[in-house]
């Protein structure tokens, strides 16, 4: 993917980038948030907005959607 962006890196350079973000050189993988942090670098304001909107979408998906309760004439004012 980095090659397609014009940022070809060696295996060693990738390991160094990952260790700067994660802080652990023994890990073979990084989380999605760490990946975004690594790719955006100093553009953290954009990262925070992206994560905020993604979080909002997840919260809306988890809401229980039920039909409204039935009303009777006794419920009317």
| Domains: count for the chain | 1
Task: For residue range 29-77, list pLDDT tens digits in order.
Answer: 778 877 777 777 766 777 677 777 877 656 555 556 778 788 888 887 7
Residues 9-21: tens digit of each pLDDT: 787 887 787 777 7
Give every CB contact of residue 21 below 8 A, 6+ residues apart in sequence: 30, 34, 35, 37, 38
The answer to whether position 56 is within a domain reads no
The predicted structure's pLDDT at residue 63? 59
The answer to whether position 67 is within a domain reads no
* Residue 36 domain boundaries: 1-47
Measured CA to CA, the distance from residue 35 to residue 11 in angstroms comes to: 16
């Amino acid at each position: 993917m980095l090659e397609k962006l014009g940022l070809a890196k060696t295996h060693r350079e990738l390991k160094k980038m990952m260790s700067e973000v994660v802080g652990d050189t023994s890990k073979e993988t990084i989380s999605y948030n760490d990946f975004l942090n690594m790719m955006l670098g100093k553009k953290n304001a954009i990262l925070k907005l992206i994560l905020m909107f993604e979080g909002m979408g997840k919260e809306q998906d988890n809401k229980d959607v039920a039909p409204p309760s039935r009303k009777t004439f006794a419920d009317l004012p």
